[in-house]
């Protein structure tokens, strides 16, 4: 579902996630250490990596709730896969 | 034209000098900025591309090209590219007021601008429709060009000798700046003098200290570039560590305003030999003092030290004097001579009758210096400005410098002073009439006079004003929109009427004498102020503090509800407070506060009772607090995130009679009645809208029966602030009415919130900084906009959607804002960002200034025990970057050593505060209260903050750290703060926290970064003495935060202890 870059960036912002624990779509980001300031950094990192800009309406707690919610928003912003 | 002809024509141009450097040293650096080195070949290629792209995007070659950037790579490349188009460069300072830049753009007819990413947003508001912008990456709004290499010019376009090379704007007498065109031919002559006088070469590194809007910067750039040398901008940090900076960057040629010498001296950089690498040191822009030149010469023994002189109209500098032991013999007023006028020029001296003084005498003569020759400009953009600035003599036109000089028979000149009311302040020419004019436009001011007495060798701007007795801060804020920062007066005095001279004109001489007397009042009672003629008391008094005579500072409201009632009477229909669900006006808040007081009384709340209020940030908090104030009861705000464990302790400690909560709390509050605010509010709203008993004489016009507050006393507690995060028992600071009202009024006097402000509050109201925003907004009649409960990632959007003009921040919020601005640049309405909680890293301050052009960043320092200790006056935001400002008006800070002895300026000791803002102590903790709020034998209560710091001779406070932050290691006394600051300076470090050494653990630092620990330690070793480099570095992705957004060292300590267990 996701790609390795996404997972790598995400793990960098989840200090409570052990390296050997897999990410699943239901993994709760807040529970794994993503705080409100971490969201700002994560957002910047993802936008930089994928060359996209999150629209204002996507900047909600819900977007940053789980791995799956974040990926689906990000995936929707990316140009159609080639 | 032929290629040869074009080359010939380039030879005489300013950009032709760059081509010379290119030929000499194509692969050497033309400049270095922030670790980036750009070679002559690269700069040439880039400038050709930018110039070609600009020309392609314009219908015709432009006459002028603006460069909206300062001392950055884009600024340098933009300057070159502008010249490469064959146009004149118009440097524009991004930090200048928009009105001034807009004027410059229009006056110079600028239709195309090069800017950097930072400038693109601000520029969009300035540019006329249809203007073209080039940014390095094509970002920005409007008609933006992205450089396209395929459009690169084959060669720079030449320019005629009479074409303008650049257009600069200087202070004008009519209140608008004067545009000056400086021709290529003038520069050619100037640089031929430079080439003949100095031996610059490709191994030289030139400092670049001047803003590009100041023509001395043209020497920095084209002096270096004509000889293949490198241009090295010097940031303030570099100035403050100049010996190390100069050595690191290999500086050989120094050029700055003389005021830089004082900065270098104060930061310990002028020791003999400290600047041994310099071959040349030039000073210009203001009088150079002999003592300064002498000291600089000792620091730079191998440098030729020169005092250069010249107005913009005479192309950069038109005379120069090389400092030597013989110089003082010809100085006047301790000022270094300015040397003979450049070869190729003629000059004359005008006497008081505007006639040339006799020249055929052997003795020195004096008069106003007038110069003609190839460096003289052809006149101002607006020919009307030429009047009076030029004088005809023997059929030739001379430029009147306005400077009085003494000439010796061999042609050497010595500067005596300004002939008219133009003064040079920090290198900036200030026309006093322009300042006067600007003050007069301030609403409430009837008349004004700006004078500039010389005190301690420096001219100081002093404003007298009549009309309403406006606070200095009010006028200063008004001027800030009209004048560049360097032209802002620091001293203000209200007069009932201007003194008049026999001609019935304002007696400026008398005012100047009076200002000098006011500024020269010797140091008063304070200890250790030494011989500094500017005492803190006088400076503060004139600049900020004693101005609102009869206003809120001198006689502040003593009750919070009085503050509200004043606001409701003054601004009844202004929005007082808003949240995501609605807003209330001041009249409504006042009415609701009466209704809520009635409801609370019905619940049994009496004077002295505590009421817990645990709510998210919602506007109900304001009328509730004022309601409790009316009853003499105590508002106890609690963070909505407070854990049950803490909550139980707080309940036991405060023994509340009532709790107001967001939703049904179950049994969290035990025996305390806990009422959801919704239930309370339906009753309050009913009361507020039900007509009062018509027979009641007490009925307010709004229909609510007012609550009688007659029993309330100034020292009744009006709030408890519980400190959070500690594992120890909860500790509440008791906040009585009068100190809270005093502190709020003092803060407002210094910050100057305005009725049209929207104050955006994201801090919880359980944090005193958040809670006081209610009072600050109410004192000003401003709107307090409480942030909706949304993640920080929405912060910028919230700021924009609320139209916020003031943002009280803590470092973590400010950091988030900088990041959000980076991804989403664009205008906001912000005019002020204040910071408290902890020091703001310089990088964040820089980021705020870059992302929020025009907004002031205000440093503050305080503690709940007296609310606010010091504030850096907003208009001094660029001064003393390490200071936390001045004490609140009417309060005092002492620095005491361990024995209670007051320390002299510069010595670190405990920060001890006295004044009407000191709170009552800690609730039910008499011993801790007695220890912290110490009763001095003279009857004064001294708040021992447990913080360490020092004051400077001007009374500005510097924070070193908490008592806990101060420790000794390897025999060296140090503070966590300085080590953390050094870590924050390491690129890539996002946060840093130091744990001092203990018996079982050596000095440890935690950083949030993506760097290996070894890299961090290595970088720290570059920045710190060996004893201060931590033994251990731990790298985390993110820091844990407490509820107030401060990083929690206790959690880090616990982490460390858990590992080692």
SS (H, E, C) B670-727: CCCCEEEHHHHHHHHHHHHHCCCCCCCCCCCCCCCCCCCCCCCCCCCEEEEEECCCCC
**A19 in a domain, yes or no?**
no
Instruction: Choose from A29, A40, A41 for mutation: most chain B CBs within 10 A.
Output: A40
CA quadruple B898, B904, B910, B913: dihedral sign: positive
* CB contact set of B250 (below 8 Å; sequence gap of 6+): B205, B277
Indicate the SS3 state at residue A24: coil
**A45 in a domain, yes or no?**
yes
Looking at residue B251, its pLDDT comes to 97
Establish if B1036 touches chain A: CB-CB under 8 angstroms: yes
Rg (CA), chain B: 31
Looking at residue B1020, its pLDDT comes to 87
- pLDDT per residue, tens digit, chain A (82 aa), is 568 889 989 988 886 677 778 888 998 888 777 877 788 889 989 988 888 888 888 888 889 999 999 999 998 887 754 4
Question: Between chains, do A59 and B812 touch, taking CB under 8 Å as contact?
Answer: no
Question: Between chains, do A12 and B820 touch, taking CB under 8 Å as contact?
Answer: no
Question: Which of B406, B490, B416, B485 shows the shortest CA–CA distance to B450?
Answer: B490
Question: Which of B249, B252, B269 shows the shortest CA–CA distance to B260?
Answer: B269
Establish if B822 touches chain A: CB-CB under 8 angstroms: yes
The partner residue sitting opposite A13, judged by closest CB among B790, B791, B1038, is B1038
Strand B856-861 and strand B870-871: the pairing is antiparallel
Give B795's contacts in chain A (Cβ within 8 Å). Answer: 40
Question: Between chains, do B793 and A39 touch, taking CB under 8 Å as contact?
Answer: yes
**A70 in a domain, yes or no?**
yes
Rounded Cα–Cα distance for residues B812 and B859 (Å) = 14
Question: Between chains, do A13 and B1037 touch, taking CB under 8 Å as contact?
Answer: yes
Mean pLDDT, 10 residues at a time, over chain B (1061 residues)?
Answer: 59 94 96 92 97 94 94 95 97 85 91 82 77 86 87 95 94 71 96 96 96 94 97 88 94 92 85 96 89 94 96 95 93 88 94 77 83 94 87 92 89 82 70 80 87 80 88 80 78 81 64 80 33 26 29 58 91 92 93 94 93 94 96 93 78 93 86 90 82 44 67 91 60 93 92 93 88 96 90 89 93 89 89 87 89 90 92 88 90 89 88 93 87 85 90 90 73 75 85 84 88 87 80 83 55 70 51
- Say if CB B192 and CB B47 are below 8 A apart: no
Looking at residue B289, its pLDDT comes to 84
Token pair 């791995």 in the structure block, residue: A67
Angle between helix axes B14-24 and B40-57 (nearest 10 degrees) is 140
Question: Between chains, do A43 and B815 touch, taking CB under 8 Å as contact?
Answer: no
A51: left (phi over 0), alpha (psi -120 to 50) or beta: left
Give the chain B residue whose CA is nearest to the CA of A38: B1038
The partner residue sitting opposite B793, judged by closest CB among A12, A14, A43, is A43
Establish if B816 touches chain A: CB-CB under 8 angstroms: yes
- Cα–Cα separations (whole angstroms), residue B775 to B505, B745, B748, B778, B1047: 44, 8, 9, 5, 27
**A residues 41-60 lying closer than 8 A (beta carbon) to B:** 41, 43-44, 47, 53, 56, 59-60
Give B820's contacts in chain A (Cβ within 8 Å). Answer: 40
**CATH code assigned at A33:** 1.10.1200.10
Smallest Cα distance from A29 to chain B, Å:
13
Smallest Cα distance from B783 to chain A, Å:
25
In our burial notation (b when 16+ CB lie closer than 10 A, e otherwise), range B333-371 reads: eebbbbbbbbeebebbbbeeeeebbeeeeeeebbbbbbb
CA quadruple B937, B940, B945, B951: dihedral sign: negative
Looking at residue B369, its pLDDT comes to 95
Give B823's contacts in chain A (Cβ within 8 Å). Answer: 43-44, 47, 53
**A20 in a domain, yes or no?**
no
Token pair 């960036």 in the structure block, residue: A9
Give the ipTM.
Answer: 0.86
DSSP B555-592: S--SSHHHHHHHHHHHSTTSEEEEETTEEEEHHHHHHH
**B residues 995-1014 lying closer than 8 A (beta carbon) to A:** 1010
**B residues 796-815 lying closer than 8 A (beta carbon) to A:** 797, 812, 815
**A63 in a domain, yes or no?**
yes
Question: Between chains, do B1038 and A36 touch, taking CB under 8 Å as contact?
Answer: no
Q: Which domain holds residue A34?
A: 4-14+27-77
- Say if CB B488 and CB B477 are below 8 A apart: no
Which tokens go with A59?
A: 């900047």
- Say if CB B678 and CB B687 are below 8 A apart: no
Question: Between chains, do A44 and B790 touch, taking CB under 8 Å as contact?
Answer: no
Smallest Cα distance from A3 to chain B, Å:
21
Question: Between chains, do A59 and B793 touch, taking CB under 8 Å as contact?
Answer: yes
Strand B205-208 and strand B178-183: the pairing is unpaired
The partner residue sitting opposite A40, judged by closest CB among B790, B793, B1010, is B793
Burial class of residue B1056 (count of CB atoms within 10 Å of its CB; 0-12, 13-18, 19+) = middle
Question: Between chains, do A59 and B797 touch, taking CB under 8 Å as contact?
Answer: yes
* CB contact set of B141 (below 8 Å; sequence gap of 6+): B120, B121, B124, B826
Indicate the SS3 state at residue B306: strand
User: Cα B1040 from chain centroid?
Assistant: 30
Question: Between chains, do A35 and B823 touch, taking CB under 8 Å as contact?
Answer: no
Which tokens go with B1045?
A: 């957004």
Question: Which of B664, B666, B634, B663 shows the shortest CA–CA distance to B650?
Answer: B634
**A22 in a domain, yes or no?**
no
- Cα–Cα separations (whole angstroms), residue B28 to B34, B204, B229: 17, 11, 8
Three-state secondary structure readout of B413-471:
EEEEEECCCEEEECCEEEEHHHHHHHHHCCCCEEEEEEECCEECCEECCEEEEEECCCC
Give the chain A residue whose CA is nearest to the CA of B1045: A37
Give B1034's contacts in chain A (Cβ within 8 Å). Answer: none
Looking at residue B5, its pLDDT comes to 55
Q: How many helices and strands, by DSSP H and E, does chain B display?
A: 30, 53
Smallest Cα distance from B48 to chain A, Å:
29
Question: Which of B98, B96, B112 shows the shortest CA–CA distance to B827?
Answer: B98
Q: Which residues pair with B877 in a beta bridge?
A: none
Question: Which of B726, B641, B701, B730 shows the shortest CA–CA distance to B923?
Answer: B730
Q: Which residues pair with B254 in a beta bridge?
A: B281
Question: Between chains, do B793 and A47 touch, taking CB under 8 Å as contact?
Answer: no
The partner residue sitting opposite B1041, judged by closest CB among A14, A35, A60, is A35
The partner residue sitting opposite B816, judged by closest CB among A13, A40, A59, is A40
Rounded Cα–Cα distance for residues A22 and A11 (Å) = 10
Question: Between chains, do A61 and B1010 touch, taking CB under 8 Å as contact?
Answer: no
- Say if CB B406 and CB B413 are below 8 A apart: yes
Indicate the SS3 state at residue B24: helix
Question: Which of B459, B457, B516 shows the shortest CA–CA distance to B335?
Answer: B457
Smallest Cα distance from A79 to chain B, Å:
19
CA end-to-end distance (rounded Å), chain B: 83
The partner residue sitting opposite B792, judged by closest CB among A12, A40, A56, is A40
Looking at residue B2, its pLDDT comes to 42
The partner residue sitting opposite B816, judged by closest CB among A13, A33, A37, is A37
Give the chain A residue whose CA is nearest to the CA of B792: A36
User: Cα B580 from chain centroid?
Assistant: 32
Rounded Cα–Cα distance for residues B648 and B659 (Å) = 13
Looking at residue B666, its pLDDT comes to 81
Please count the residue pairs, one from chain A and one from chain B, whose beta carbons lie less than 8 angstroms apart.
57
Rounded Cα–Cα distance for residues B859 and B355 (Å) = 53
Indicate the SS3 state at residue B385: helix
Rg (CA), chain A: 12
Question: Which of B750, B859, B846, B882 shows the shortest CA–CA distance to B809?
Answer: B859
Question: Between chains, do B819 and A53 touch, taking CB under 8 Å as contact?
Answer: no
Give the chain B residue whose CA is nearest to the CA of A9: B1037
User: Cα B718 from chain centroid?
Assistant: 34
Please enumerate, as own/partner, the contacts of B892-900 that have beta carbons within 8 Å and a separation of 24 or more. Answer: B893/B869, B893/B951, B893/B957, B894/B942, B895/B949, B895/B950, B895/B951, B896/B944
Establish if B1038 touches chain A: CB-CB under 8 angstroms: yes
**B residues 777-796 lying closer than 8 A (beta carbon) to A:** 790-795
Residue B224's CB: how many other CB atoms inside 10 A?
28
Domains parsed from chain B with CATH numbers:
3-185 (3.40.50.12780), 310-420 (2.30.38.10), 431-545 (3.30.300.30), 974-1061 (3.30.300.30)
User: Which helix (H) or strand (E) covers residue B401, if one does?
Assistant: strand B396-407
Give B1037's contacts in chain A (Cβ within 8 Å). Answer: 12-15, 33, 38
Smallest Cα distance from B820 to chain A, Å:
7
Which tokens go with A37?
A: 């300031």
Establish if B395 touches chain A: CB-CB under 8 angstroms: no
Question: Which of B841, B809, B813 shows the shortest CA–CA distance to B992?
Answer: B841
* Counted domains in chain A: 1
Three-state secondary structure readout of B151-216:
HCCCCCCCCCCCCEEEEEEECCCCCCCEEEEEEHHHHHHHHHHHHHHCCCCCCCEEEECCCCCCCH
Rounded Cα–Cα distance for residues B904 and B104 (Å) = 47
Q: Which residues pair with B972 in a beta bridge?
A: B969
Looking at residue B782, its pLDDT comes to 95
Rounded Cα–Cα distance for residues B292 and B295 (Å) = 5
Give B797's contacts in chain A (Cβ within 8 Å). Answer: 56, 59
* CB contact set of B654 (below 8 Å; sequence gap of 6+): B610, B612, B636, B720, B732, B923
Rounded Cα–Cα distance for residues B742 and B740 (Å) = 5
């Amino acid at each position: 579902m996701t790609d390795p870059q996404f997972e790598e960036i995400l793990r960098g912002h989840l200090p409570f996630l052990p390296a050997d624990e897999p990410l699943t779509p239901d993994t709760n980001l807040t529970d794994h250490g993503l705080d409100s300031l971490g969201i700002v950094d994560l957002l910047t990192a993802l936008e930089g990596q994928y060359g996209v800009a999150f629209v204002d309406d996507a900047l909600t707690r819900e977007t940053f709730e789980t791995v799956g919610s974040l990926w689906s928003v990000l995936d929707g912003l990316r140009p159609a896969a080639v | 034209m032929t290629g040869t002809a074009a080359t010939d024509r380039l030879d005489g141009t300013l950009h032709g000098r760059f081509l010379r450097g290119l030929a000499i040293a194509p692969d050497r650096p033309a400049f270095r900025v922030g670790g980036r080195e750009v070679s002559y070949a690269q700069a040439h290629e880039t400038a050709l591309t930018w110039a070609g792209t600009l020309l392609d995007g314009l219908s015709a070659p432009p006459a002028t090209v603006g460069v909206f950037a300062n001392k950055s790579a884009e600024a340098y490349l933009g300057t070159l590219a502008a010249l490469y188009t064959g146009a004149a460069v118009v440097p524009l300072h991004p930090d200048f007021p928009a009105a001034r830049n807009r004027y410059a753009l229009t006056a110079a007819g600028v239709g195309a601008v090069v800017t950097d990413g930072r400038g693109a947003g601000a520029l969009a508001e300035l540019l006329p429709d249809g203007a073209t912008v080039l940014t390095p990456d094509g970002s920005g709004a409007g008609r933006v060009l992205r450089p396209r290499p395929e459009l690169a010019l084959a060669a720079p376009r030449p320019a005629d000798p009479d074409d303008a090379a650049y257009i600069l704007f200087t202070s004008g007498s009519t209140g608008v700046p004067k545009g000056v065109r400086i021709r290529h031919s003038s520069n050619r002559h100037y640089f031929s003098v430079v080439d003949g006088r100095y031996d610059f070469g490709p191994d030289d590194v030139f400092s670049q200290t001047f803003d590009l809007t100041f023509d001395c910067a043209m020497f920095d750039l084209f002096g270096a570039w004509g000889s293949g040398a490198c241009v090295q901008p010097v940031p303030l940090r570099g100035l403050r560590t100049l010996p190390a900076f100069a050595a690191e960057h290999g500086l050989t040629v120094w050029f700055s305003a003389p005021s830089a010498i004082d900065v270098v001296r104060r930061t310990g950089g002028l020791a003999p030999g400290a600047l041994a690498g310099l071959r040349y040191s030039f000073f210009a822009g203001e009088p150079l003092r002999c003592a300064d030149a002498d000291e600089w010469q000792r620091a730079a023994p191998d440098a030729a030290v020169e005092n250069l002189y010249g107005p913009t109209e005479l192309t950069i500098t038109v005379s120069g004097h090389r400092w030597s032991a013989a110089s003082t013999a010809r100085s006047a007023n301790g000022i270094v001579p300015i040397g003979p006028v450049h070869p190729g020029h003629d000059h004359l001296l005008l006497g008081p009758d505007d006639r040339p003084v006799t020249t055929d005498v052997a003795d020195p003569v004096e008069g106003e210096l007038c110069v003609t020759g190839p460096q003289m400009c052809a006149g101002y953009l607006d020919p009307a400005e030429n009047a009076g600035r030029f004088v005809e003599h023997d059929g030739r036109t001379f430029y009147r410098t306005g400077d009085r000089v003494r000439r010796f028979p061999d042609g050497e000149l010595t500067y005596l002073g300004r002939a008219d009311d133009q003064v040079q302040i920090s290198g900036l020419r200030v026309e006093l009439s322009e300042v006067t004019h600007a003050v007069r436009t301030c609403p409430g001011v009837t008349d004004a006079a700006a004078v500039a007495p010389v005190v301690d060798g420096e001219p100081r701007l002093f404003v007298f004003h009549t009309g309403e007795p406006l606070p200095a801060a009010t006028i200063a804020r008004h001027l800030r929109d009209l004048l560049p920062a360097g032209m802002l007066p620091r001293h203000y005095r209200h007069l009932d009427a201007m003194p008049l001279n026999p001609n019935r004109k304002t007696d400026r001489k008398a005012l100047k004498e009076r200002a000098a007397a006011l500024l020269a009042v010797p140091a008063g009672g304070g200890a250790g102020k030494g011989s500094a003629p500017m005492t803190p008391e006088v400076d503060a008094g004139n600049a900020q503090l004693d101005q609102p005579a009869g206003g809120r500072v001198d006689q502040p409201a003593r009750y919070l509800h009085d503050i509200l009632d004043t606001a409701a009477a003054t601004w009844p229909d202004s929005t007082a407070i808003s949240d995501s669900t609605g807003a209330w006006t001041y009249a409504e808040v006042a009415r609701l506060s009466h209704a809520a007081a009635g409801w609370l009384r019905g619940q049994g709340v009496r004077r002295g009772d505590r009421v817990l209020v645990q709510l998210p940030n919602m506007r109900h908090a304001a009328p509730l607090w004022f309601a409790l104030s009316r009853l003499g009861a105590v508002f106890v705000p609690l963070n909505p995130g407070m854990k049950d464990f803490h909550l139980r302790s707080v309940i036991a400690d405060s023994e509340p009679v009532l709790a107001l909560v967001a939703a049904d709390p179950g049994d969290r509050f035990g025996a305390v009645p806990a009422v959801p605010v919704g239930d309370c509010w339906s009753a309050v709203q009913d009361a507020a809208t039900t007509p009062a008993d018509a027979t009641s004489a007490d009925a307010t016009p709004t229909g609510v029966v007012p609550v009688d507050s007659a029993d309330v006393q100034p020292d009744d507690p009006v709030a408890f602030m519980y400190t959070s995060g500690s594992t120890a028992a909860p500790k509440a600071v008791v906040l009585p009415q009068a100190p809270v009202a005093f502190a709020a009024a003092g803060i407002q006097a210094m910050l100057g919130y305005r009725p049209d402000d929207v104050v955006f509050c994201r801090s919880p109201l359980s944090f005193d900084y958040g809670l006081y925003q209610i009072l600050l907004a109410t004192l000003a009649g401003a709107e307090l906009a409480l942030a909706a409960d949304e993640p920080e990632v929405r912060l910028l959007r919230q700021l924009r959607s609320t139209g916020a003009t003031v943002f009280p921040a803590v470092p973590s919020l400010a950091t988030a804002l900088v990041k959000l601005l980076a991804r989403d640049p664009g205008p906001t309405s912000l005019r002020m960002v204040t910071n408290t909680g902890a020091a703001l890293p310089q990088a964040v301050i820089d980021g705020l200034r870059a992302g929020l052009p025009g907004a002031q960043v205000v440093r503050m320092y305080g503690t709940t025990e007296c609310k606010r200790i010091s504030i850096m006056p907003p208009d001094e935001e660029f001064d003393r970057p390490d200071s936390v400002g001045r004490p609140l008006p009417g309060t005092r800070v002492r620095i005491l050593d361990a024995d209670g002895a007051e320390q002299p300026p510069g010595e670190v000791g405990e920060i001890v505060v006295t004044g009407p803002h000191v709170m009552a102590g800690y609730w039910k903790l008499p011993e801790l209260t007695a220890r912290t709020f110490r009763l001095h034998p003279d009857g004064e209560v001294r708040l021992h903050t447990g913080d360490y710091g020092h004051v400077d001779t001007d009374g500005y406070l510097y924070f070193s750290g908490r008592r806990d932050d101060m420790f000794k290691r390897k025999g060296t006394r140090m503070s966590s703060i300085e080590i953390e600051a050094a870590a924050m300076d390491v690129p890539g470090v996002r946060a840093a926290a130091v744990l001092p050494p203990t018996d079982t653990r050596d000095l440890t630092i935690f950083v949030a970064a993506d760097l290996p620990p070894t890299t961090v330690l290595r970088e720290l070793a570059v920045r710190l003495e060996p004893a201060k480099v931590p033994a251990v570095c731990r790298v985390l992705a993110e820091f844990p935060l407490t509820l107030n957004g401060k990083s929690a060292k206790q959690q880090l300590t616990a982490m460390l202890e858990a590992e080692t267990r």
